[in-house]
Amino acid sequence: MKPLLTYTLRQGDRALILAQRLLETITHAPEIEEDMALSNLALDLIGQARALYTYVAEIEGDIDGAVRDENHYAYCREQHEFQNPLLVEQPNGDFAQIIVRQFLHDAYAFPYWRVMQHSTDETLAAIAAKSVKETAYHLRHSRSWLVRLGDGTDESHRRAQAAVDQMWRYTGELFETDEVEQALVSASIAFDPDELRNTWLHTVAGTLTEATLEMPDDVVMQNGGRSGRHSESFSRLIGELQVLARAHPGATW
Amino acid sequence: MTVAASLGDLVRDIEDPELPHVTIGDLGIVRSVTIHGATATVLLTPTYTGCPATEQIREDVADAVRSAGLEPDVRLVISPAWSTDWITERGHQRLLAAGIAPPPPADEPGVTFVDPPVACPRCSSRRTRLISHFGGTACKATYVCNACSEPFEFFKAL
Ligand SMILES: [Zn+2]
């Protein structure tokens, strides 16, 4: 049960933290349509996080008998307890950075959910069947923006390339495997991340070419998200996420 | 008509809070309505996982059940995942009447990155172009018609 708990929690954290970053951009997007798009992406991700955390609460309750709900995992954990990949917590920066972070994530999340529909875990398979449809639109969106920026003006090209160079170092962690993941792969609850990496690389390479952008090579990959080692700006993100719940525990609308 | 059937009609007639004049029956999100003793159990399938309308719909359904003198037990089921293919023919007509282009049949998600041709709900021209993959809600994209110059929303296939 413990590996399933940790694994599901990591996926929930990935969705929640990216949603929180996207929510910071509301009213700051370059055009109103994009403001709506980014907030809709965030809503989908929050929906996915809620489903995953609700399942985590169920698994953890089966282990220790305690009653928790989805909110516990979002609002009542310390920052080192979050196990999201570092990519999704990267600060927003300019619009190119927002789009590149999103694209590198979506190119992972879409094939991830597609394969997870075949998980032997019924709940994860059901969440995957729902999420894959939403994520297909996320990928379409971030992919078309990346092509537009890369193959746009000199300035948008320069910024898009800088964002790719900046974010690339956080992509290796998406495909890392450890004993938690291996336990689930052998039970066909999760799937081989190497295969996922090939699919991801295919999408990313094709899109970068279309966007006239270079794929970085020789980059030292950063990790640590899974062990709760986050970047400095992460503490401010968590602070903002949890401020209301900490100031008024148990508050409702 | 049985009590469950008439309650089913009452529930399916509830309007979606974000799609005026389109009922939750038209959207195909009401999975079942069953009555055991004094309790009516209603199973609903959310359209999108994060759709803010879901909570409102839940409350509206609970109110409808109470108005029929029963105790509501409203549950969300995510499997099988909702598809726009479940929207009824009447739902398509009502979307069109509200100026929203109805969805084409849903394919396997993401097999193509080509955006589908969409006919303008006002003038039926197919000379339209995509403005944004998202609209006022996650379920819609924003288009503009090159023929009549009107912007409109398109209910995306899911
Ligand atoms: Zn028109």
Per-residue pLDDT at B71: 96
DSSP string, chain B: --HHHHHHHHHHTPBPTTSTT-BHHHHT-EEEEEEETTEEEEEE--SSTT-THHHHHHHHHHHHHHHTT-EEEEEE--SSPP-GGGS-HHHHHHHHHTTEEPPPPP-STTS--PPPP---TTT--S-EEEEES--SSTTEEEEEETTT--EEEEE---
Distance (Å) from CA B16 to ligand 1 centroid: 26
Domain boundaries, chain B: 3-76, 100-155
Q: What is the distance in angstroms between the Cα of A223 and the nearest Cα belonging to chain B?
A: 29
Per-residue pLDDT at B1: 62
Q: Is the pLDDT at A218 greater than 90, yes or no? A: no
- Angle (deg, nearest 10), helices A32-64 and A2-23: 160
- Per CATH, the architecture of B3-76 is what? 2-Layer Sandwich (3.30)
User: Would the CB atoms of A41 and B79 count as touching at under 8 Å?
Assistant: no
User: Would the CB atoms of A114 and B110 count as touching at under 8 Å?
Assistant: yes
Per-residue pLDDT at A103: 98
> Which residues in chain B have Cβ-Cβ distances shorter than 8 Å to A125?
79
Question: What pTM did the predictor assign?
Answer: 0.92
Per-residue pLDDT at B111: 55
The 10s digit of each residue's pLDDT in B75-115 is 999 889 999 999 999 999 999 999 999 999 887 665 566 77
The two tokens of residue A218 are 């020789």
User: Would the CB atoms of B80 and A129 count as touching at under 8 Å?
Assistant: yes
Peptide bond into B80 cis (omega under 30): yes
The 10s digit of each residue's pLDDT in A76-99 is 999 999 999 999 999 999 999 999
d(CA A122, CA A106): 23
Per-residue pLDDT at A54: 95
Q: Is B10 touching A (CB cutoff 8 A)? A: no
Q: What is the distance in angstroms between the Cα of B18 and the nearest Cα belonging to chain A?
A: 14
> Which residues in chain A have Cβ-Cβ distances shorter than 8 Å to B135?
36
Per-residue pLDDT at A83: 97
> Which residues in chain A have Cβ-Cβ distances shorter than 8 Å to B46?
47
Burial class, A118, CB count within 10 angstroms (exposed 0-12 / middle 13-18 / buried 19+): exposed
The mean pLDDT value for A63-81 works out to: 94
Q: Scanning every residue of chain B, which has its alpha carbon at the shortest distance from the alpha carbon of A110?
A: B110
The mean pLDDT value for A36-62 works out to: 95
Chain B, 82 to 121: residues with Cβ < 8 Å from chain A are 82-83, 106, 109-110, 113, 115
A120 three-class SS: coil
The 10s digit of each residue's pLDDT in B43-63 is 999 888 888 888 899 999 999
Domain boundaries, chain A: 3-247
Task: Assign domain A3-247 one CATH number from 3.30.750.24, 1.10.3720.10, 3.40.50.1970, 1.20.1260.10.
Answer: 1.20.1260.10
**Sheet of B100-101, strand order:** B100-101, B151-155, B140-145, B128-132
d(CA A140, CA B132): 11
Q: Is the pLDDT at A1 greater than 80, yes or no? A: no
d(CA B133, CA B139): 9
User: Would the CB atoms of B81 and A130 count as touching at under 8 Å?
Assistant: yes
What is the predicted ipTM? 0.84
Per-residue pLDDT at B107: 76
Minimal CA–CA distance to A169: which of A124, A120, A218, A117? A218
Q: Is the pLDDT at B145 greater than 70, yes or no? A: yes
Per-residue pLDDT at B110: 58
Q: What is the distance in angstroms between the Cα of B104 and the nearest Cα belonging to chain A?
A: 15
DSSP string, B96-132: HHTTEEPPPPP-STTS--PPPP---TTT--S-EEEEE
Report chain B's mean pLDDT, rounded to a whole number.
90
Of the partner residues A33, A47, A50, the one whose CB lies closest to the CB of residue B142: A33
d(CA A174, CA A106): 11
Rounded to a whole number of angstroms, the distance between the first and last alpha carbons of chain B is 34
The 10s digit of each residue's pLDDT in A118-132 is 999 999 999 999 999
The two tokens of residue B113 are 């990155």
